[in-house]
Structure 1
Amino acid sequence: MPDQIWWKRGIVYQIYPRSFQDTNGDGIGDLEGIRRRLDYLAWLGVEAIWISPFYPSPMADFGYDVCDYRGVDPMFGTMEDFERLVEDAHARDLKVILDFVPNHTSEEHPWFRQSRQSRDNDRRDWYIWRDPAPNGGPPNNWISNFGGSAWQWDEATGQYYYHAFLKEQPDLNWRNREVREAMYDAMRFWLDRGVDGFRVDVIWHLIKDAEFRGNPPNPSFQPSQAEINRFLQVHSADQPEVHEVIAEMRSVLQEYPERVLIGEIYLPLERLVAYYGEDLKGAHLPFNFQLLQASWRAEEIARLIVEYEDKLPDGGWPNWVLGNHDQKRIAARVGLEQARLAGMLLLTLRGTPTMYYGDEIGLGEVQIPPEAVQDPWEKNEPGLGVGRDPARTPMQWEDGANAGFTAGKPWLPLAADNGDCNVACLRDDKNSILSLYHQLIHFRQRHPALSVGSFELSGAEGNVLAFERRHGDERFRIVLNFSKENRSCAIPRGSKARIVLSTALDRTGEELDGSVELRPNEGILATLERD
Structure 2
Amino acid sequence: MQRFLFSLLPLLTVGLLATACERRAEADLVSTTTEVSDLAVEPRIPEWEKDAVIYEVNLRHFTPEGTFAAFENHIPRLAEMGVDILWFMPVHPISEKNRKGELGSPYAAADYKGVNPDFGTMEDFKSMIDAIHAAGMYAIIDWIPNHSGWDNPWITEHPDFYTKKDGKITDPINPHTGESWGWTDVADLNYDNPELRDSMIAAMAFWVREANVDGFRVDVAHGIPVDFIEQAADSLYRIRPLFMLAEAEVPEIVNNGAFVMDYGWEMHHVLNQIARSQGAHRAATTDLSNIAREESEAEDRVTALEIDRVLAKYDSLYDRGYKMMFTSNHDENSWAGTEFQRMGEGHKAFAVLTATFSGMPLIYTGQESAVDKQFEFFTKDEVEWGNYKYADFYRTLFELKERNQALWNGPHGGELVKIQTGTDENVYAFTREKNGDRVVVMINLSATPQSFELGTGDYAGTYTDVFANEQVKVQPGQSRELGAWEYVVLSNK
Q: Which amino acid aligns with 2:119?
A: F
Unmatched tracts of structure 1, length 5 or more: 24-28, 115-122, 151-163, 207-241, 369-373, 377-388, 399-421, 427-432
Deviation (angstroms), 1:287: 2.0
Correspondent of 1:319 among 321, 324, 337: 324
Quote the residue 1:78 is aligned against.
121
2:259 aligned with 1:283, yes or no? yes
Provide closer, same or farther for how the CA distance between residues 4 and 341 of structure 1 changes in structure 2, counting only shifts above 3 A. farther
- Which entry has the higher C-alpha Rg, 1 or 2? 1
2:417 aligned with 1:456, yes or no? yes
User: 2: distance between equivalents of 1:331 and 1:35?
Assistant: 28
The answer on whether the counterparts of 2:51 and 2:401 sit within 8 Å (CA) in structure 1 is: no
2:339 aligned with 1:330, yes or no? yes
The answer on whether the counterparts of 2:143 and 2:216 sit within 8 Å (CA) in structure 1 is: yes
Quote the residue 1:476 is aligned against.
439
Q: How does 1:378-389 map to 2 (within 5 A)?
A: none
Quote the residue 2:165 is aligned against.
130
2:430 aligned with 1:395, yes or no? no
- Could you report, residue by residue, the CA deviation over 1:291-348 in whole angstroms, capped at 9, with x for unpaired residues? 33212231222321222123212x333432332111133222111x311111211111
Quote the residue 1:298 is aligned against.
304
User: 1: distance between equivalents of 2:85 and 2:111?
Assistant: 25
Which stretches of structure 1, 4 residues or more, deviate above 6 A after TM superposition?
A: 137-141
Q: How does 1:66-465 map to 2 (within 5 A)?
A: 66-114=109-157, 123-131=158-166, 142=175, 149-150=179-180, 166-192=183-209, 193-206=211-224, 242-265=225-248, 267=249, 272-277=250-255, 280-294=256-270, 295-296=273-274, 297-313=303-319, 315-327=320-332, 328-335=337-344, 337-366=345-374, 375=377, 393-398=381-386, 422-423=387-388, 426=389, 433-451=390-408, 452-459=413-420, 461-465=424-428
- Could you report, residue by residue, the CA deviation over 1:230-286 in whole angstroms, capped at 9, with x for unpaired residues? xxxxxxxxxxxx110110121122123320111111x5xxxx212214xx2322212
The answer on whether the counterparts of 1:132 and 1:138 sit within 8 Å (CA) in structure 2 is: no
Q: With the length of structure 2 as denominator, give the TM-score of the two structures.
A: 0.74
Correspondent of 2:92 among 46, 49, 55: 55
Deviation (angstroms), 1:462: 3.6
Quote the residue 1:418 is aligned against.
none
Alignment partner of 1:353: what SS?
Answer: strand
User: 2: distance between equivalents of 1:256 and 1:107?
Assistant: 30
Provide closer, same or farther for how the CA distance between residues 17 and 8 of structure 1 changes in structure 2, counting only shifts above 3 A. same
The answer on whether the counterparts of 1:329 and 1:359 sit within 8 Å (CA) in structure 2 is: no
The answer on whether the counterparts of 2:55 and 2:363 sit within 8 Å (CA) in structure 1 is: yes
Deviation (angstroms), 1:76: 0.7
User: 2: distance between equivalents of 1:293 and 1:522?
Assistant: 21
2:493 aligned with 1:488, yes or no? no
Deviation (angstroms), 1:508: 3.1
The answer on whether the counterparts of 1:7 and 1:352 sit within 8 Å (CA) in structure 2 is: no
Deviation (angstroms), 1:393: 4.9
User: 2: distance between equivalents of 1:498 and 1:67?
Assistant: 57
Q: Which amino acid aligns with 1:396?
A: E
2:468 aligned with 1:511, yes or no? no
Alignment partner of 1:341: what SS?
Answer: helix
The answer on whether the counterparts of 1:68 and 1:109 sit within 8 Å (CA) in structure 2 is: yes
Provide closer, same or farther for how the CA distance between residues 68 and 332 of structure 1 changes in structure 2, counting only shifts above 3 A. same
User: 1: distance between equivalents of 2:430 and 2:445?
Assistant: 14
Q: Which amino acid aligns with 2:112?
A: Y
Deviation (angstroms), 1:62: 2.2
User: 1: distance between equivalents of 2:196 and 2:182?
Assistant: 19
Quote the residue 1:231 is aligned against.
none
The answer on whether the counterparts of 1:499 and 1:507 sit within 8 Å (CA) in structure 2 is: no
The answer on whether the counterparts of 1:291 and 1:321 sit within 8 Å (CA) in structure 2 is: no
Deviation (angstroms), 1:7: 2.2
Identity of aligned residues (%): 26
The answer on whether the counterparts of 2:217 and 2:245 sit within 8 Å (CA) in structure 1 is: yes
User: 1: distance between equivalents of 2:355 and 2:377?
Assistant: 30
Deviation (angstroms), 1:361: 2.8
Alignment partner of 1:322: what SS?
Answer: coil
Alignment partner of 2:87: what SS?
Answer: strand
Deviation (angstroms), 1:88: 0.6
Provide closer, same or farther for how the CA distance between residues 83 and 495 of structure 1 changes in structure 2, counting only shifts above 3 A. closer
User: 1: distance between equivalents of 2:191 and 2:131?
Assistant: 35
Alignment partner of 2:340: what SS?
Answer: helix
Report the aligned-residue RMSD: 2.9
- Could you report, residue by residue, the CA deviation over 1:136-160 in whole angstroms, capped at 9, with x for unpaired residues? x99986589xxx941xxxxxxxxxx
Q: Which amino acid aligns with 1:312?
A: Y
Provide closer, same or farther for how the CA distance between residues 363 and 101 of structure 1 changes in structure 2, counting only shifts above 3 A. same
The answer on whether the counterparts of 1:331 and 1:359 sit within 8 Å (CA) in structure 2 is: no
Greater shift, 486-495 or 99-108, is seen at 486-495
User: 1: distance between equivalents of 2:123 and 2:45?
Assistant: 34
The answer on whether the counterparts of 2:95 and 2:152 sit within 8 Å (CA) in structure 1 is: no
Provide closer, same or farther for how the CA distance between residues 171 and 455 of structure 1 changes in structure 2, counting only shifts above 3 A. same
2:479 aligned with 1:522, yes or no? no
Would you say how many aligned residue pairs link Structure 1 and Structure 2?
399
